[in-house]
Every structure is written in C-alpha cells, then in structure tokens.
Structure 1
Amino acid sequence: MRAFLYRLLAVAAACSLALPDAAAAQSTTFDLAGPVLTMRVTRGTTTLPVGEVPSIRAGDRLEVKADLPADQSAHFVLVVAFLRGATNPPPKDWFFKAETWDKNPKKASLSITVPDGAEQAIAFMAPETGGGYNALVKAVRGRPGVFVRAAQDLFQASLDRARLETFVNGVAHVEEGAPDRLVPVSTALAGTLGIKLNADCLSRARALQASCLTQNREGMVLQTGGGTTLAEVLGGTTTQFAYSLAATKEGGAGLYSPYISLARDFARLFGVFRSASYQYAPALAVGSGDRLRLQLNNPPSFQNPQTVLVAPLPPIGSAAPPPLRAAGKDGQCLAQPGLVLRLEDAPLIFATDYARDLRLRLGLQDGRTLELPVTADAERGGLVVAGAQQVGQSPVGEAVLVGRWGFDTFTGPRFAVQNGAPSVWKPQPDDAVVVGRDAPLTLQGGAASCVAQISLRDRDGGTRPVTWKPSAADEITATLPLARTRPGALTLLVAQYGDAAPAQLTLKGQTEASRLEGFTLYTGDRAGRLVGARLDQVAMLEVGGVRFAAGALTRDPGGGDRLTLITDANTETLAQGQSEAKVTLKDGRTTSVRATITPPRPRLELVGSNVAAPAAPGRVPLTLPAGLLAPDATLTFSVRAVGTRLTNDDAIEIATADDSASAKLTVASGKLQSLGDDIAVGSIVPRQVLGAAAVGPLKMRLVQGDVVGEWQPLARVVRLPSLTKVACDDKGCTLEGEGLYLIASVSGSADGANAQAVPVGFVGTSLTVPKPVGELLYLKLHDAPDDMVTVAAGKK
C-alpha cells in the first residue's frame, strides 16, 4: 500500500505550472509531508478530536500541540492566532505561543479559549530565532486581510485535499485487494467524493487502470454544490468543476486545480512579508482523529530567509452540515441485500469525520419507531444501513437520516424507503387475463422496490419468467407471456427480498374475441383513441382522407384495450360529428368502425393573478417580478374557459412542469370559485398543495369529467434567500442571511451590468456585492435565471 501511494505522489509531483515573480518558485502540489499538530476541542462537557470538528465558536476550549519526532533538531514556535476581519487587526492577547521543544508540557502545548468576536483561527509553525514571535505578531496585525484570506482559502483547499486523498486511498485499497472491482468502485468513489473520473482509464488493461485513474491529481477535484452528475463526471464535462480559486488561463493537467491557484496567489500575497530572515509559506491541514497533518508545497528553509508555515484551523461560526439531498426519488427496499442510500453532492460526509453517530430513523406503520445504524462508505457510493432485519415485514411510513455534525445534531434528508409483506399484492382491476397474446397486468398494494422476481406457472406446472417494472411506489406493471397459453387457472409467483416463500396469486386465463367499439378524436389533435379488444392486430385507420398509424396500446382498467392512433396531418379539416372509419389489420384485412370527431379540447386563459407573501418579521423584503412567487406565498388567479361552459363539478388541475406533483382545485374543496359560466377564481399555496416538488414552472388545465383540456402556463415558483440585513456604503454592499446559495448573481443595475456571480454551493451567511447605481440591488436566482428580483439597498 505504502509503495503504491509513494508511486502516486511521484506521478502527481511531476506536474508543474510556470508562475511569474515569487510564485514561480512555488510547487503546484501539496504532497510534501510537514509537521503534525494534535488538537482537541471542548464545548461544554463534550470533547472531540479536531477531525470531527467542522467549526469552532467563542468559548470553545482548544488543546493544541505539535507532534514532533523525539529527535527533532530544529526548534519550532507554535503560534495560534485569532482574527476578526480583514480591516480590523486582532489584539496582541489573541496570539498564543508554545515552545515545542520545552520539556515542560505546559510550555510546549497550548490550552486556549476562543475569544468573543473572533472570526477566524490560524496556526503558525515558526523557527525559533529569538525575535521571530514578535515579528510574526507584527506581520499579522499589520496586514490582517492577508491572513483572513489564508484562513478561509486554506481550509477549503484542505477539505478538497481530504476528498482527493480518500479517492486515492480507495483506489489503492481496491487495487491491492480486489482489482477486478476497480471499475465499479472507482466510479462510486468519484461520484460520492466529487472527483473527476477519467473514463478512458477504465478501458485500459487492468494493471494500468489504477495508476491512470490517479494521475494529474491537481485537476481531479470537482466543485461541489453545483449538482454535477455522475454522467457529467464520466463524460468529462468541465462546466461544473471550475473551482472559483482556480480560474487560470494556463494549460496542462491541472487547469482546474484549486492547488495551483492557491500556490500562485499565496506566493504573491506572502511575498510582501519576505525579509532577509523570514518567508511565509501556505500549508494544508488534513484532519484525522486528533491529528492535523500539514501538507506543504515546498520544502521549508532553515537558513535565512527561514520558512514560517501558515496552516488553517477550523473556521469560527455555525457548523450546519452541507445541504443534504437524497439522490433520486425512486423508493428503495429496506430488505434488499447491500442496500446503499445515496446522497446528492455531499462529498464531505465521506471524506471527513464531521458526520458521526449516523442513524436511519424509521417510523413504521405499526406504530414503532426504530433507529438503524448507518455508515458512510465512499467505496460503495453512499450510506450503508445495518440491522434492517429488525423491521420485519412492517411497512415504513417515514425514513429520515439523523446524526451529529461536529457538536450539533441534524435531521434530514428523508429517503423513499419501502418494506412490506408480498401477500398484499392484488391484481387490478381483477384476476382475469386474456390468453393467446402477451397480456398486461397491474399489481397494486405492496412495496414495488422490494420485488425481486416475478414468474408465471400455468396449469401444466410449467414456470416462465415475467417481465415487470415498478410504475408507482405501490404498483407494478407486468407483461404476462400468454401467447401460447391455454385458458384456465394460472398462478403468479411474486418473490420479495428477505422472504423465502413467494406470494402466490391465482389468475383466470380467458379468451377474448376481437372487437372494435369506436374511434374518438378531438378536432386539432394529432392523436385519437380506438377502443375495443385485441387491438394489437390494428395497423392503420383512415377517416375523412386522414390516415392514422397505430401507436401505444394500453389495458383499459374497465376491460378491453385502448389503442392510440397518430397522424402528422392537420385534423382541423375533419368534419365534426360521427362518420365511418376504415380500419386495416396487420394481416391485410379491413373493417370499419364508428368515428366520432368532437369539438376542440376545452382550455383555460389566464385573466389575472395576484401574489400575497406571508409576513416575515426581521427579514428584508424582496420584490419579485410578475409571474414569480415563493413556495409559501398565496397565488390567487382568475381564468376564462374557452370552448366550453363551466359548472360547479369542474376542476382545475395544477401540476409541476415534470408532472412530479399535481393537485385539483374544486368548488367543493373551497379552492375554486365560479363567476358565471366562463370565469373562475382559484387560490393555492404551492408548498401546501404540491409539497416540496413545488419549484419551477407551474401549469394548469381544465378537467370536466373524463375530458381534460390542454396544459397552459400559470406561474413560476422560486426559492428565496432569507435576508436579515442589506447594508451599503461607497465601497459596496453586504448581504446577510440564510440561503444565499439560492442567488446566482447580484448586480447594481437593472441591465445586469458588472453582475457578481455567487459561487455555486456557497453556504456562508454573509456576501459582499457591488454597490447599486440607484436605490436597488438586482438579484438573479438559480430558480429563475431570466428574471430580476430587487431588494432595497440600506446604509451602513
């Protein structure tokens, strides 16, 4: 293992980038092992090793010391400093030093309480020269902004380094233990850790795959928080992983590397402090347990100018976990062997120990609440659940991830987890199926994700596999192989994960005569519907000189078939009313069927709308353009029916653009009011009506019994940041609040000129933006990139 890692480090160290001035001497990698610091953080009565602490806060007690070898000859002074902003030098008593060579443990280590008002913490390892400590304090207090930036950017780069090392170590582990699994494991590692995977490496000889996957390591770390998908990673799409620190024009393997930019920028920044005696050098700090391993990009110098190492400590402030989202909406079976719950864009869960005591809290329909232990496993690509056998066959009502992020507890996200007994499956609409052809069958009532296999046993005892797929959480659509089956009793065998014996459902195999009942077409539509039986034999239909070709065939819940017939011709020329249509079967025979050409589908026209946002005390109000509303705002709208008359039995259906959520407004529910026979007024709160899916465009249509109208646009739902303060002066403005990552960019003018983009995945609570031309700031949201949201610019 060690030899393999050394080989990887050697390959990565071969990359270089020409940098001007002081930066030219800086290596672009941080693969040189430096000193090790040990650190523990105590908050109240709880003490955690630094590897489990994502941030610290005022009042925390820090125990810090250098873990140097017994034969360490060079004496280092360990200094921990606290900063309070780029323009506010810290007081001298915010600097703490330890003489690491001293035999007295109290002098060789630090026991510090984080002071009130501190905003960043940073550590220095300086050679002892007699006056080095005072020079360091003077340098930090003289230009605090340089070290504020160092504390922030070095910590972020250290997190990126932790992701990279987890990937490299994972590839090394699988190469040594199970090289045949390198392709799936490296793909899973790349997806969970946000690492760029070179898909070309996976097609090489097995002996060359591991070294290929881990070459050019500076360019492998992807930006997180931008929704990069595994498909984009495999395809090499570069639009999402250009990390904000690494916008370089130079070519080479590390074009998108945060490390290259870090080395270049800090070489220039620290160059202002270079003297005949000292030079400052950045170091990454990778935490594991109570140890912080410092990674250097150049060997330190013990001759003048001697090197002072600058390393980040955990940031000061709140420690909310990254936004956790379950990857995918499809349900997963709790009893499925090797169940892995996948998270979307959460690499720090797998690359650090910040998340601990993870559990999956289950609310069961039998009234019990269980918590199953969960382990974050980057090699398996998600969260591995243990102890699922405790649940038995009880259906799951809710499954939510809970745990701790550092010192704090967190809840979420919720996962679509299923469980249940196979005996609850029932055929719909009944147990009769038609033999002589492959027949569709719908099963309802059970947990679709828990079905492992379905097979059909005929009356002679022969068993055949059945093709099936889940069509809903509690529904399965199967295709029964009945083309050569005789009428009689059939047995459907449904096997589920975790159950030894499959459920046995009895079906009645029956013959059905072919029949054509009627063809219906709405004027203007390009598709009509033919109703009857054995419609799989229909090839074409012609009415009024317009030809229709056979399309999708479905089983009618009430019995029989429904066949969609499609044309490219204009159907507005067909005369409305009933006529006779010619049907051509696949064997060449022809017959006729009654055709009904009806008036155009009814549709709705939006007359007007009004948005009422709920009161938000302590929040800076945002002004939204027409057509946008927040998920918890009330949308009142009026519509006019075209081509029909409204009755109190009609409904207006509201749905998201992808049809993932919908709801019907009716007079009976109180959500719809009729004004005459052509005007109606509806009212909705998107989050209450459509749930969490209510983001993005909403559409509406009229529903009159079995007749549904065309979809029409209604409004767009956008998620809004919660601003608590907007303050501006001659230099710029500061936005404070929560959810700032929802903002795409901020501009001082309505034309969007000189807009400042917000880094994708930004999770801070304060953002500096340009000052406005007038009295307003203009915000573009990720949910509405073509619209401007305005906010009044206050004064500092």
Structure 2
Amino acid sequence: MRIHIFLVVAIAGLLSSAGRTENLPFDLAGPTLRVSVTHAGKVLPIANVPQLATGDEIDVRADLPEDQSARYLLVAAFLRGATNPPPENWFTQSEVWNKKGRRGLTLTVPDGAQQIILFLAPQTGGDFSTLRNAVQGKPGAFVRAAQDLAQASLDRRRLEAFLAAVRRPAPGDSDRLERITPLLARSLQIKINSDCLAKAPELQVACLLQNQDALVLNDGHSNAITDALAGPGVDLALQISSTPQGGLGYYSPYIAAVRDIIGIFSTMHTAKYQYIPALATPDGNALRLVLNTAPSFHNPKSVLVTALPIVAPVRLPPLEIADTDPAICAQADEIVIPISGAPLVYATDYAHDLVLSVELPGGTIDLPATPDVERGGLVIATNGKVPMTVTTPLKATVRGLWGFVPFEGPAIRLQPARPGAWRLASDAPAVKRSGQVELAGGAAACVTRVSLGVAPVAWKRLAPDRISLAAPRDGTTIEVSGPKGIEAERIVLAAPPPLARFAATVIARHIERPTQVSSLSLALGSDDQIPSDSTLRVSFRAVDKARFTGRETIEVSASSGGVTANLTTANGLTIADPQVALATIQPANALGSSAFGPLRARIVRDGVAGDWLSIGTLVRLPAVRQLHCPDDPAATACELSGDNLFLISAVSSTAGFETSAAVPDGYPGNSIQVPRPSNGALYVRWHDDPSAVGRIGQ
C-alpha cells in the first residue's frame, strides 16, 4: 500500500525572485467554481463524483462576485501522462469577465485523458497560450500536481470531519470524547493520541488537536481514487514521502508547506506568472477553493491551480462490518450498522442514495441509510416498517451509488425482538450466588432498558439471547424494555429453592507417622489425637441419598490457628464409589504450623456445604533428643533437651502428676529441668490437648 505525502508542484515563478512560500496553512478562502458531471444521461454535482470516465460531460463555471474587478481566465486542460503532452484541442478557455465566459465551459472527456487540471489566471497578454505551452512543455509536472492536489483535498476532508466532531460542543456530556474518539479513528482511519482521553475533559480537545500534520494516516481506498499514474515523477514523490522531511509515512492537508519537485519550471518566466495550489472542497455543485497564500496581481501574477477527479475505472468502497458479531435489532427505532474500511464514505458525498435492503417474508423494503462518523456506522431510521410480528432473523444488505455506479456493501442479519420471551436463566440460582442474575430467551440486541421498579440499572449483553445484571433482592421485579411498540416484560425474581446439603459420616481413619530418629519415643495419650507431622487418611460414607460424583470438595480445618484445606479429586480426594470417598492430608503442610485443636471436615458441592464432622484432635509435638540424668541416684532432677519444647505443658515422673514440672508458656529454649523418671519414662501433658497424658521414654 503506497503512502502519500501532500506534495504540491510549485510552478514557474515559485523559484523566481518572488521567493518561496513555506509553512503556510491552507486557511485562506479562495474563489468558488460550479461543477456538474453528466454520465450516461445522468447528472450529478461534483461532490458526488469520485472519478470520471471517457465521454463524461463536465460543466464548469467560475462563481465570482458581481463586483469582481480583477479579470480572470478560466482554463481547463486534459492530461494524458507524464511523457505524453496533450494536443492543443485538449485546452479550453473561458473569459470569466464577459457574459459568454460567465456561462463557463462545457467539456467532454476525450479518449486517453487521465486527469483534468483547472487554472484561474489573471488576464495578461498571451495568458492562454502561455498556460498551454507550459503544460505541453512539461506535462509530468502537471500530472504530479493534479494527483497531489486531488489526494490532498481528500485527506483534508477526512481531517475536517474529525476536527468538526472533536470541536462540537456537548454541554453536560463529559464522556462524549472518550466515547466517540475511538469510533472517529476507526471510521476515518485517523491516528489519534489515546493519552489525551486520560486527561481532564476540559483538556481533551486541545490535546487531540495537537500535531494535526500527523493525524491522517494512509488509506488504500483514498489513494486508489487518485493513484492511476506511474512514472519517474510518481517514484520521486514516493521516495520523498518516506524520508524524515517528508513525514515518515504521514500526510495531512494541513502540513502547510509548498514543495517543489526538483525545481521543474524554474526557468519559465515569460508569462510573468507564479503558480499557487488550491485545495478543492466540494459542496453539492460548488467547488470551494482554499489557498495557503494570497494571490498577487502584480508581476509575477498568481495562477490558481486545482484539479478535478481523475479519469480511471471506478474503485468501489471496500465497506466491511466493523464488529465480528454486531447485535442489531430488526424492530429498533433506529439501527446503527458499524461500518469501516472506507473513510471517504464518512468524509465525502461520493456514497449517496444509501439504503439498507431488508428481506421480509412478503418482499424487500429499502430503508434510507445515513453515514454518521461519530457513531461509527450507517444510521437507519426504520420508521416502523419492520413488522413486530417477525420472529426469525432477517437478511439485510447495504446498497447505494458510488458516484454513478451502483454498489453493494456487506450483508448483515437483523435479530427479531421476540417479545415475551425473557425468563430467568435455568442456572440462575448458581449465577445469583456469584452476584449476578442472568435472563435468557429474548433478543439482547432489542433491549433498550433494564430497570428494577422505576430505577434503571446497568446490564450487559452476554449472547444474542442472554443478558446479565447485578443480582437484586428476592421478590424484586425486573423490567426489560424494548423498542417502541414492544411492551416491557416483567420477571419476578423469586427466592431459589434451597439446595440439598451433602450428608455423610466418617467410616474410619488411619494415622501414619514419619520414622523417629531420636532414642526417645513419644507416645500420645489418646487415640483421638492426630500428630501434626503425620499423614492422615479419613474415609467417608454418603448417606440420605447423597452420592459422590467427583464434583465435591472436602474442607478440613482446625479449631485454632492455621488455614482451611480444600481437597478435590485433583488434590487429596479419592472417590472409591458413589457411596465412599477417602481424603488424604498432611496437616502440617496443608493447615500450617499454627493449626491445632479439634479437627473437622465437611463436604461441599455446588457451593452448598454439609455438616462439620469431627475427625480427631490435632496435636503438635516437640522434637526431643536426649534425657540426661546425674549419676548420683539421689539427684531428683534431670535435663530434657530438644526443639519446640513449648509444645509441652507439664512433665511428671508419675502418671498421676503428683510431682511435676511446668513448662512456661512460649518457652524458647532447647532444654528443661524435669523430674527423674521413676520407671524409665516421663509423663507429659501436651500444650495443644492438656486433657490427655502422653509418655516420653527410652
């Protein structure tokens, strides 16, 4: 895809003693031409004509004010290529100051012509012959000028459409720019600075309008309308456009610089003319010229140069649906079809008489369509022409005229409203627990409002037949409204029936402790106790018609400290059969080092938890290494060493704890004084379960 920069050929006197005109914006209103085109017997104003064809009849006249004092000569020249000078009969003049000249020119596009260039020249001696000789002498310069002027005029119109939308005031709508700017960029294929939308609303417009010379990006369709030529001049222009001085691939009608191409015409001074570019802005049959420098009526006098559309095969607009799955309601009061791919549909009047052809069961109807750049699509007013009785999707196609040529755009499907079909989704109870309520069955594209009572609420389209909203209280009435003529539907959100809780009992459990490396053994005081460093296996039986399916989660937690472990079939839960399941857990790893006390488990399915089941008491044990007693039998105290001794509450030499030593709460040391064992063993009460007496022995 070729990238153009706006290049305007500076002809003849541009390099003369008058000097160069640079960096001036095209903001000076020039004269107006009136132009209409007749093709195959049909007449269109110039604003509707993207390209011309051989045999077309063109009416051109200068629309100058009645008190115009300077005498202008209107000259039209057909061009046929950079290396092929046009014959003399391809030049026509009109003396605008006299009665006959005010009627203008009637031109017929000759066979072989590729472009048409227009001159408005101050009257001087030999003006017509001078202009004709200039074109015949170096036709490539005018070929390049005509193409660049036409291209720049198209770019200017895209940019003006963007600027007009951004500058349009919208009191009370602070989010307007954030909403429409992405659509403008998509519709017009304009690069914007997205950081501008993060600014305060009052600063966004100024930010978006900065660096206008880099706003308009390349567009293959716009280029194709003017790009029908080849040759050295074109190649040179492309080389310039890819250089840093040429804009690095950007172009804009406001680039505000007049460039000459390798100084052509620098030696032509006989006519006492300097040539200045004029961008054309069509409006109906008016071709309004915009200049970047004021014309001079002293030598060298200024000749205004502009171009009409090129003579070439028509390039139809490559319209496409901008969204992959547009939700469009057939009976909506107004349909917006998201369209992209051809920015000139939004920036010009080349596409006209647009309609949306809708195929109804009884025949096809055409609904007028209007491009809307701010909404990023074609807006169609249905005016109630699509019957409310339609129940199946409808095929619709965009059709219209591109200049004189009929074209057919993309086809879409319109969704019928299906009034009365909305209902609470079948899985609504589960959805409601997630904080959302879903409605299904109706046409999401036709929903215009969702409310709770009289208050509207936010909602979201999930699928063609499904919407969601924040879950209201049970008993609330949800009202879903559609287009005019479709009554609001009311859905009462009833309380969901309670889901059955999973009932189970504990069958058995098995405790497996790691191998002890110390010469001292630790014995628990109760079969109910579960050492935290063990591997615990518990089996459960489903009761009361409950069945294990694999969707269950078993939650395990201790009464004090730690976290809750969730066992699933992917992690610790094994389904033996529909009635029996086994849970395997390492408490120290799964619950954390702070967990202790009564241990419990429950079965959860579909978000509903069963009753807690007791599975034992979790006890953390110290790591004892050595018991050292003095050799003197009369000594009554020994030393017990190890780690985490604070997990011992008290130590005694007898099971009845007649003589005992208490361990201070939170004791950080690694040795304690204990009574001398009377029979080779010590009795202990554990910090995590003082009710049972354990044993430490050789």
**TM-score, scaled to structure 1:** 0.54
Query: What percent identity do the matched residue pairs reach?
Result: 42
Residues 418, 533 of structure 1: alpha-carbon distance in 2 compared, 3 angstrom cutoff: farther
Which of the residues 32, 39, 54 maps onto 2:35?
39
Alignment-derived partner of residue 58 in structure 1:
54
Which of the residues 461, 465, 483 maps onto 1:470?
461
Q: What SS is found at the alignment partner of 1:317?
A: coil
TM-aligned CA deviation for residue 60 of structure 1: 0.9
In the alignment, the residues of structure 2 paired with residue 581 and residue 67 of structure 1 have an alpha-carbon distance, to the nearest angstrom, of 93
Alignment-derived partner of residue 563 in structure 1:
none
TM-aligned CA deviation for residue 66 of structure 1: 1.0
Which of the residues 395, 404, 408 maps onto 2:405?
408
Q: Deviations over 1:460-519 (max 9, x none)?
A: xx999998643332344677567xx5xxx99765433433321548978322224599xx
Alignment-derived partner of residue 510 in structure 1:
497
Residues 536, 104 of structure 1: alpha-carbon distance in 2 compared, 3 angstrom cutoff: farther
Retained in 2: the 8 A contact 1:53–1:354?
yes
Alignment-derived partner of residue 495 in structure 1:
481
Q: Which amino acid aligns with 2:499?
A: E
TM-aligned CA deviation for residue 589 of structure 1: 5.5
Which of the pair has the greater relative contact order for Cα pairs under 8 Å at 6+ separation?
2
TM-aligned CA deviation for residue 209 of structure 1: 5.7
TM-aligned CA deviation for residue 323 of structure 1: 1.0
Number of residue equivalences: 504
TM-aligned CA deviation for residue 398 of structure 1: 1.5
Residues 160, 530 of structure 1: alpha-carbon distance in 2 compared, 3 angstrom cutoff: farther
Aligned residue runs from structure 1 range 694-709, under 5 A: none
Larger Rg: 2
In the alignment, the residues of structure 1 paired with residue 174 and residue 455 of structure 2 have an alpha-carbon distance, to the nearest angstrom, of 33
CA RMSD of aligned residues (A): 4.6
TM-aligned CA deviation for residue 201 of structure 1: 5.8
In the alignment, the residues of structure 2 paired with residue 302 and residue 463 of structure 1 have an alpha-carbon distance, to the nearest angstrom, of 71
Residues 325, 530 of structure 1: alpha-carbon distance in 2 compared, 3 angstrom cutoff: farther
Alignment-derived partner of residue 509 in structure 2:
none
Q: Does residue 420 of structure 1 match 2:414?
A: no
Which of the residues 313, 316, 321 maps onto 1:321?
316
TM-aligned CA deviation for residue 163 of structure 1: 2.0
Residues 27, 431 of structure 1: alpha-carbon distance in 2 compared, 3 angstrom cutoff: closer
In the alignment, the residues of structure 1 paired with residue 169 and residue 248 of structure 2 have an alpha-carbon distance, to the nearest angstrom, of 25
Q: What SS is found at the alignment partner of 2:417?
A: coil
Alignment-derived partner of residue 302 in structure 1:
297
Alignment-derived partner of residue 383 in structure 1:
378
In the alignment, the residues of structure 2 paired with residue 440 and residue 169 of structure 1 have an alpha-carbon distance, to the nearest angstrom, of 41
* Unmatched tracts of structure 2, length 5 or more: 1-13, 223-237, 505-547, 557-563, 574-579, 606-698
In the alignment, the residues of structure 1 paired with residue 503 and residue 251 of structure 2 have an alpha-carbon distance, to the nearest angstrom, of 64
Retained in 2: the 8 A contact 1:338–1:384?
yes
Q: Does residue 217 of structure 1 match 2:199?
A: no
Q: Does residue 165 of structure 1 match 2:160?
A: yes
* Unmatched tracts of structure 1, length 5 or more: 1-19, 228-242, 457-461, 518-528, 549-577, 595-796
Which of the residues 359, 365, 372 maps onto 1:370?
365
In the alignment, the residues of structure 2 paired with residue 137 and residue 203 of structure 1 have an alpha-carbon distance, to the nearest angstrom, of 55
TM-aligned CA deviation for residue 307 of structure 1: 2.3
Alignment-derived partner of residue 399 in structure 1:
396
Which of the residues 562, 566, 570 maps onto 1:540?
566
Q: Which amino acid aligns with 1:390?
A: K
Alignment-derived partner of residue 449 in structure 1:
445
Q: Which amino acid aligns with 1:406?
A: G
In the alignment, the residues of structure 2 paired with residue 246 and residue 59 of structure 1 have an alpha-carbon distance, to the nearest angstrom, of 34
Residues 377, 479 of structure 1: alpha-carbon distance in 2 compared, 3 angstrom cutoff: closer
In the alignment, the residues of structure 2 paired with residue 581 and residue 275 of structure 1 have an alpha-carbon distance, to the nearest angstrom, of 103
Q: Does residue 71 of structure 1 match 2:71?
A: no
Q: Does residue 101 of structure 1 match 2:87?
A: no
In the alignment, the residues of structure 2 paired with residue 431 and residue 81 of structure 1 have an alpha-carbon distance, to the nearest angstrom, of 74
Q: Which amino acid aligns with 2:367?
A: L
Alignment-derived partner of residue 286 in structure 2:
291
Retained in 2: the 8 A contact 1:543–1:581?
no
Aligned residue runs from structure 1 range 625-664, under 5 A: none
Alignment-derived partner of residue 134 in structure 1:
129
Alignment-derived partner of residue 174 in structure 1:
169
TM-aligned CA deviation for residue 443 of structure 1: 5.3
Residues 24, 515 of structure 1: alpha-carbon distance in 2 compared, 3 angstrom cutoff: farther
TM-aligned CA deviation for residue 302 of structure 1: 2.3
Alignment-derived partner of residue 535 in structure 2:
none
Retained in 2: the 8 A contact 1:438–1:481?
no
Q: Which amino acid aligns with 1:502?
A: E
TM-aligned CA deviation for residue 34 of structure 1: 1.9
Residues 535, 378 of structure 1: alpha-carbon distance in 2 compared, 3 angstrom cutoff: farther
TM-aligned CA deviation for residue 57 of structure 1: 0.5
Residues 503, 491 of structure 1: alpha-carbon distance in 2 compared, 3 angstrom cutoff: closer
Q: Deviations over 1:151-186 (max 9, x none)?
A: 2221111011112233344445437x8886763586
TM-aligned CA deviation for residue 441 of structure 1: 7.1
In the alignment, the residues of structure 1 paired with residue 405 and residue 555 of structure 2 have an alpha-carbon distance, to the nearest angstrom, of 61
In the alignment, the residues of structure 1 paired with residue 80 and residue 369 of structure 2 have an alpha-carbon distance, to the nearest angstrom, of 38
In the alignment, the residues of structure 2 paired with residue 296 and residue 138 of structure 1 have an alpha-carbon distance, to the nearest angstrom, of 25
Q: What SS is found at the alignment partner of 1:424?
A: coil
In the alignment, the residues of structure 1 paired with residue 249 and residue 294 of structure 2 have an alpha-carbon distance, to the nearest angstrom, of 21
Q: Which amino acid aligns with 1:140?
A: V
Q: Which amino acid aligns with 2:31?
A: P
Q: What SS is found at the alignment partner of 1:26?
A: coil
**TM-score, scaled to structure 2:** 0.61
Residues 432, 445 of structure 1: alpha-carbon distance in 2 compared, 3 angstrom cutoff: closer
Q: Deviations over 1:23-58 (max 9, x none)?
A: 953334222222211101011221111011111111
